[in-house]
Amino acid sequence: MDDDDISTIYDSTGALVEGCRLPVRMHGTEDWPLAEIVSVKEQECRRIFYVHYVDFNKRLDEWVSEEYLDTRKVQFPRRDATATTASTGVTTPKRILSIPGSVSRPASPTNSEIVNGNTVLAAALQKKINRKRRTQIVIENEESSQDVPDKTPRQSGSMVAHHDDVVTRMKNVKMIELGKHRIKPWYFAPYPQELCQMSCIYICEFCLKYRKSKKCLERHLNKCNLKHPPGNEIYRKQTISFFEIDGRKNKVYAQNLCLLAKLFLDHKTLYYDTDPFLFYVMTEFDSRGFHIVGYFSKEKESTEDYNVACILTMPPYQRKGYGKLLIEFSYELSKFEGKTGSPEKPLSDLGLLSYRSYWAQTILDIFITQNPGPDGEKPQITINEICELTSIKKEDVISTLQNLNLINYYKGQYIVCINREIIDQHKKAMDKRKIRIDSKCLHWSPKDWTKRSKW
C-alpha cells in the first residue's frame, strides 16, 4: 500500500456513520472480519468508532481508531436499516476475513438471534424498564446507602432476553476491581452514570456494594464486616462452599449480584424483582475470607422445570472447570428435589458449550459404568432411567445423544454403540475434572414454595 492509498482510505472515513459495515482489524489479531459501526465519537480531535464484529459475540465489541478500518468495501445502511454494499468501485479487501475459531479469542458458535414471542415481549419490557431506569437510577455518592432497594436499579435473578438499543449495546463500564482481581467487563450493565465515567468501579467482594474510588472502597471495608456472602452455607468441601441466598430476604445483595453478573451476561436483561429467586453463590476460601467464584440463580417455583435461571463464572476463574461444578451442583439440588431440570433459555454461546459438555460427560459416564446383565448380555437402560439418575431433563438427554451421534437403529430397537476411542476420550476428559460435587457435603432440604402464601 503506498501513501496515496493510505490517504484515500483515511479520507473516506469521513463518510462513515452508524450502521455502516466494513472490514475492521480486530485488536490483538491480524484478522479483518466484517464489523458494524455502532457509534462514532470524537476523542482528542480524532474520530473513533465503536464496532461490533458481525459473526462474533458482542463481548469482542470495541472502540477502534480509523487505522483499524478498511474503507475499500463499505456497506452503507439503507433507510430500512439493513446495510447494503455501496458502489465505492473498490474490490474485496485483500486480507481475507478470518474464519471464526481461527482467531485467538473465543468465537461465537451461534450467530443467529433467536426471535420468538418471549423475545418480543422482553423487548417491550426492556423499553419500559429503560424508561423507568432513567427516572429511577440514583447516582450513588460515597456514603449514600445502597440499602434502599427502591432507589437502586432493580433486577431479577432471571433477566429476560432482549433486543438491543444503542445505549445498552455498548459497554459502559471500563473496569471493575473485585477483591484482588481487575476485570474488564464484556457487556453493558446499568451501574450509576457517575460511576461509569470513572476508570474503574471498586466493588466489595463480600457484599458486592460498589464505590467510585479505591479510597471510598477502603472506607467501606472498614465498616463492612462480611467475609462471605449472606445466607446459609449449604455445602462445603475443602475450600469450596456454596451459600444459598433468598432474593427476598437479601434483596440488596441479590440486586448487586445481578448487576455485577450483567457485565458478563448479554442475552439477558436486568429487570426488577429478585423476590422469586434463590441465588447459589460458590466461593473459594482462604485466610482472607470466602471469595466469590461464580453463582447461579434459580426460580423458587418454575412452571417450566428450569433449575437454573442465570449462571456465571467470574472471568478470572473461567475455563478451570468451575462452570461445570456450578452446573453439577444445580443438578445435585434437582436430585434432592426428586425432579429433572433444565437451564432457562436462551443459553449464551459459552453456556451452550458448557451445558453440552456437562450433559455428554454425565450421560457417557452412565453408559460406561453400567454393568452387563447376569448372563453377560449387553446392558440396557431407558431414557427415563437416565433422567432419573442424572436429573437432566428428557429433551436435553435426547438432544445430547443426537449430538454425540451415538444412537443407531438395529433390528427394531435403538442401540447405543460406544467404541474404545469414545471411552478413552471420555476417561481423559473426566480425569481433567479434578473438583467434583460430593453429595455428602450438601446439607440442604428443598422447600415447597407452593405452600407458602408469600415467598
Strands 306-308 and 342-343: parallel
Euclidean distance between the first and the last CA atom of the chain, given in angstroms as a whole number? 67
Q: Does 348 bind ligand ACO (CB under 6 A)?
A: yes
Q: Does 311 bind ligand ACO (CB under 6 A)?
A: yes
Q: Does 393 bind ligand ACO (CB under 6 A)?
A: no
All residues at 6 or more sequence positions from 119 whose CB lies less than 8 Å from its CB, including other chains: 161, 162, 163
Q: Residue from 27, 249, 319, 436 that binds ligand ACO (CB under 6 A)?
A: 319
Grid cell, residue 420, equals: 474404545
Count other Cβ atoms within 10 Å, centred on residue 21.
22
Grid cell, residue 309, equals: 435461571
All residues at 6 or more sequence positions from 82 whose CB lies less than 8 Å from its CB, including other chains: none
Range in contact with ligand ACO (rule: CB under 6 A) among 73-81, 129-137, 233-241, 341-349:
341-349
When CB distances are held under 5 to 8 angstroms depending on the partner's kind, the choice from ligand ACO, Zn ion, none that residue 343 binds is ligand ACO
Q: What is the DSSP letter of 25?
A: P
**Nearest distance from residue 430's CB to ligand ACO, in Å?**
10
Q: Which is nearer to ligand ACO, 146 or 330 (CB)?
A: 330
DSSP string of 309-354, one letter each residue: S-EEE-GGGTTTTHHHHHHHHHHHHHHHHT--BEEPSSPPHHHHHH
Q: Which is nearer to Zn ion, 228 or 237 (CB)?
A: 228
**Nearest distance from residue 252's CB to Zn ion, in Å?**
11
Give the three-state DSSP class for 435.
coil
Q: Which is nearer to Zn ion, 74 or 292 (CB)?
A: 292
All residues at 6 or more sequence positions from 205 whose CB lies less than 8 Å from its CB, including other chains: 178, 179, 289, 291, 292
Applying CB under 5 A, which residues contact Zn ion? Answer: 204, 206-207, 224
The mark string for 97-136 relative to ligand ACO (x by CB under 6 A, - otherwise) is: ---------x------------------------------
Range in contact with ligand ACO (rule: CB under 6 A) among 112-120, 283-291, 344-352, 369-377:
344-352
**385: annotated active-site residue:** no
Range in contact with ligand ACO (rule: CB under 6 A) among 131-139, 165-173, 303-311, 331-339:
303-311
Q: Which is nearer to ligand ACO, 158 or 255 (CB)?
A: 158
When CB distances are held under 5 to 8 angstroms depending on the partner's kind, the choice from ligand ACO, Zn ion, none that residue 207 binds is Zn ion
Q: Does 262 bind ligand ACO (CB under 6 A)?
A: no
Q: Which is nearer to ligand ACO, 23 or 276 (CB)?
A: 276
Q: Does 350 bind ligand ACO (CB under 6 A)?
A: yes
Which residue carries 440442604 as its cell? 444
Q: Which is nearer to ligand ACO, 175 or 430 (CB)?
A: 430
Task: List phi, psi (to 5°) of 172.
Answer: -115, -15
Q: Residue from 312, 364, 406, 442 that binds ligand ACO (CB under 6 A)?
A: 312
Q: Which is nearer to ligand ACO, 49 or 329 (CB)?
A: 329
Task: List phi, psi (to 5°) of 40.
Answer: -130, 135
Catalytic residue among 344, 377, 388, 395: 344
Cα(238)–Cα(251) distance, integer angstroms: 29
**Nearest distance from residue 277's CB to ligand ACO, in Å?**
12
When CB distances are held under 5 to 8 angstroms depending on the partner's kind, the choice from ligand ACO, Zn ion, none that residue 224 binds is Zn ion
Inter-residue contact 283 to 240 (CB < 8 Å): yes
Range in contact with ligand ACO (rule: CB under 6 A) among 22-30, 61-69, 351-359, 410-418:
351-359
All residues at 6 or more sequence positions from 259 whose CB lies less than 8 Å from its CB, including other chains: 153, 155, 189, 190, 191, 208, 210, 270
Q: Cis bond leading into 315, ω under 30°?
A: no
Can you list the alpha helix ranges (DSSP code H) found in 370-419? 383-390, 394-404
| 180-186 contacts at long range (C-beta below 8 A, 24 or more positions apart) | 181/314, 181/316, 183/263, 183/314, 183/315, 183/316, 184/315, 185/263, 185/264, 186/58, 186/59, 186/263, 186/264, 186/266, 186/315
Residues of this chain, 195-254, that bind ligand ACO according to CB under 6 A: none
Across 83-111, b (16+ Cβ under 10 Å) vs e yields: beebeeeeeeeeeeebebeebeebbbeee
Inter-residue contact 146 to 209 (CB < 8 Å): yes
Range in contact with ligand ACO (rule: CB under 6 A) among 208-216, 316-324, 393-401, 444-452:
316-324
Q: Does 161 bind ligand ACO (CB under 6 A)?
A: no
Q: Which is nearer to ligand ACO, 70 or 299 (CB)?
A: 299
Q: Does 157 bind ligand ACO (CB under 6 A)?
A: no
**Nearest distance from residue 256's CB to Zn ion, in Å?**
9
Residues belonging to the active site: 344
Question: What is the binding site for ligand ACO (CB under 6 A)?
Answer: 106, 264-265, 308, 310-313, 318-324, 343-344, 347-348, 350-351, 353-354, 357
